[in-house]
Amino acid sequence: MGHPQSAVSQHTLLVRTTGPQPTTNDQMIKAIRGTRDLLPPDTALWNFVEKTVGEVFGAYNFQEIRTPIFEATELFARGVGEETDIVSKEMFTWEDRGRAQSEKNQLLTLRPENTAGVVRAYIEHNLQQRGLNKLYYIGPQFRRERPQKGRYRQFYQIGAEVIGPASSGSESPMRDAELLEMLATLLDRLGVTGWTLELNSIGCAADRARYNEALRQALDPVKDKMCGDCQRRAVTNPLRVFDCKVPEDQPIIEQLPRISEYLDEPCRQHFGQVKEILTSAGVPFTLNDRLVRGLDYYTRTAFEFTHGALGAQNAILGGGRYDGLSESLGGPPVPGIGFAIGEDRLVMSLGKTAEEVSRKPDVYIAPLGAGMNKEAIRLARELRRHNIVAELGDETFRLKKSLETGSKLGAKYALIVGENEVSTGVFALKNLATGEQKSVARNELAGAIRASQ
C-alpha cells in the first residue's frame, strides 16, 4: 500500500486533468461504517444536552478540560489494562513515522476513553498543587467494536473526574456520593425518566487479588464450557468474565463467588458511608455485586446508570473510583473517582424531541422590491445584537412567498421591509400564527419581538 499522501496527490491530479465526472451510487463516498453525520434538527438535542451539562456541572464547581484525541499507546496499555478488550481488540493504533530518523517510531492511539488522558494531564501539569480538581470533558472517543444500536466506532462521551491529594478529601465517600447525586440531578434536568442507579464496591487492590484467585479456582473446572473470551479471561484476568454477554455463560457466572465476601473492613466502611449519604440525599440505588466495570484501574465504588429504553445494552453511563491510576502512570499517589456518559445513548434516552428544544427564528425579514436586500440585512444586524434569531428572505420574493417561507421555518413574526417602511422608519410586524399585524417604529422593533420570547 502506498503512502497516504501519495494517494491523495494522485487523486487530486486526476480530478484536475479530467474535470468533474458523473457520480453513481457505487462511486459515492459515504461515511465509514461505525460513524455517522449528526444533522439538524437532531443536533439541537446534542446542544441541549451539552448546554445542560455545562450548567449542572458548573453548579457543582466542575471546570472543563480538553485533552488531545490521540495519545501514546502506552498510556492506555498501562492505564486501562493490556488484558482489557479495549486495549487488546478495540483500539485504533498506528506507528508515528514523522519523527527524526535517530528516534524510535512511536505508537499512537486514538483515545478509546478519556480518564487516562485526564490523569496524564493532571500529572504532566502538576495539578495536585491546586488541591482537589473537579474536571469535566465532552468529546469524541474511538473504538473498533461491532456497531450496534447506540454504539459507534466514533462515539461521544461526557465525563468528569474528581482527583487530588488525599489531604484534599478526594478519597472521602462524600466525593463518591456527591458525584452520583450530580448525575441523578443531570438526568432529571434532561428529562430522562425511569433511570436506575446500580452500585457495587470492588474493593482495593488486595481485595481484588484475593477475589481474582477465588474466581480463578472457581472457573478452572468450568471454563471449558464457556465462550472463547471467557476461557482466555479465566486465566489472564478472571474479573473480566463478568463482562461476558453470552447467554449460555450466564448460569455459570451466576454461581461464581461474590466480591462483597472479599472486601476488607476499610472498604466495607467506605461503601457503607457512600450508601448512607446517598440515602440521606434522596438518591435511589440498587446493589449489584456482579457490577465490576470494564477497566482495570477501578477500585472500591463502581456504578452504572441504566435505562430500559435502550434494550439489552441498557447502560447510559458508568464509572467508579480509581485510587491507583495515577501511580500506574508514573504520577503521585492521588485518589480519584469519575465517570463517562455515552452521549449517543443519552440522547436516545431523552424524553424530548429535536423540535421541542430547537430555537425557531423569532422573525423572518421580508425585503420587498429592488434595493431592499441591503436594507433588510442592516435591520437584521440590529436585531441580532439583541439576541433575536432573524432569518432573511430576498427582494425577489413576492410577499405571499415570504410569509409562507417564514411560517414553514416556524418564525413568530414576519417583518416587511419596503421603500415606504425604510423612508418612514416604521415597519409592519405580522404575527404569523394569529395573522395580527401592527406598525412598529424601528427603535422599538427589538422590544416588540423580544416581548414574545
Helix residue spans in 80-227 (DSSP H): 85, 115-124, 173-190, 205-219
49 with 198, same domain? yes
116 with 170, same domain? yes
β-partners of residue 364 are 391, 414
118 with 200, same domain? yes
158 with 281, same domain? yes
- 70 in a structural domain: yes
pLDDT digit string (tens) for 162-188?
999 999 999 999 999 999 999 999 999
pLDDT digit string (tens) for 339-349?
999 898 898 88
- Give dist(CA 122, CA 116) in Å, integer: 10
345 with 370, same domain? no
- pLDDT for res 408: 94
Mean pLDDT of 359-378: 94
Mean pLDDT of 393-409: 94
- 237 in a structural domain: no
Q: Which residue has the higher pLDDT, 100 or 234?
A: 234
- Amino acid identity, residue 289? D
| In the predicted structure, residue 213 carries a pLDDT above the cut 80 | yes
- pLDDT for res 104: 76
- pLDDT for res 101: 63
- 61 in a structural domain: yes
| In the predicted structure, residue 84 carries a pLDDT above the cut 90 | no
Q: What is the domain extent for residue 151?
A: 43-204+264-349
Range of lowest pLDDT (54-68, 110-124, 181-195, 236-250)? 236-250
The domain that holds 137 is classified in CATH as 3.30.930.10
- Give dist(CA 324, CA 331) in Å, integer: 10
Domain boundary residue among 315, 349, 383? 349
| In the predicted structure, residue 54 carries a pLDDT above the cut 80 | yes
442 with 320, same domain? no
| In the predicted structure, residue 5 carries a pLDDT above the cut 60 | no
SS3 category, 98: coil
What is the overall mean pLDDT for the chain?
A: 87
198 with 125, same domain? yes
- Give dist(CA 125, CA 12) in Å, integer: 42
Query: Chain centroid to CA 117: how far?
Result: 15
| φ, ψ at 323 (rounded to 5°) | -70, -15
Contact assessment for residue 131 and residue 157, using Cβ atoms and an 8 Å cutoff: no
Domain boundary residue among 322, 349, 376? 349
Q: Which residue has the higher pLDDT, 358 or 280?
A: 280
| In the predicted structure, residue 308 carries a pLDDT above the cut 80 | no
- 256 in a structural domain: no
- pLDDT for res 283: 96
- 329 in a structural domain: yes
- pLDDT for res 24: 59
CA dihedral 64, 70, 75, 80 (to 10 degrees): 70
Distances in whole angstroms, Cα of residue 58 to Cα of each of 54, 137, 170, 270, 347 = 6, 12, 18, 27, 20
315 with 371, same domain? no
Q: What is the DSSP string of 318-356?
A: EEEE-TTHHHHTT-----EEEEEEEHHHHHHH-S--HHH
**Pairing, β 315-321 against β 363-367:** unpaired
- pLDDT for res 15: 39
- pLDDT for res 1: 43
- pLDDT for res 147: 65
398 with 272, same domain? no
β-partners of residue 341 are 158, 317
Which conformational region is residue 349 in: left (phi greater than 0), alpha (psi within -120 to 50 degrees), or beta?
A: alpha
- pLDDT for res 13: 35
Contact assessment for residue 34 and residue 153, using Cβ atoms and an 8 Å cutoff: yes
- pLDDT for res 293: 67
| φ, ψ at 310 (rounded to 5°) | -95, 0
| In the predicted structure, residue 2 carries a pLDDT above the cut 50 | no
365 with 314, same domain? no
**In total, how many domains does the chain have?**
2
**Model confidence at 296, in pLDDT bands (50, 70, 90)?**
low
Distances in whole angstroms, Cα of residue 259 to Cα of each of 116, 136, 242, 339 = 25, 30, 11, 21
- 166 in a structural domain: yes
pLDDT digit string (tens) for 90-133?
888 888 876 666 667 889 999 999 999 999 999 999 999 999 99
- 433 in a structural domain: yes
Domain boundary residue among 349, 382, 403? 349
115 with 182, same domain? yes
- 440 in a structural domain: yes
294 with 427, same domain? no
The domain that holds 411 is classified in CATH as 3.40.50.800
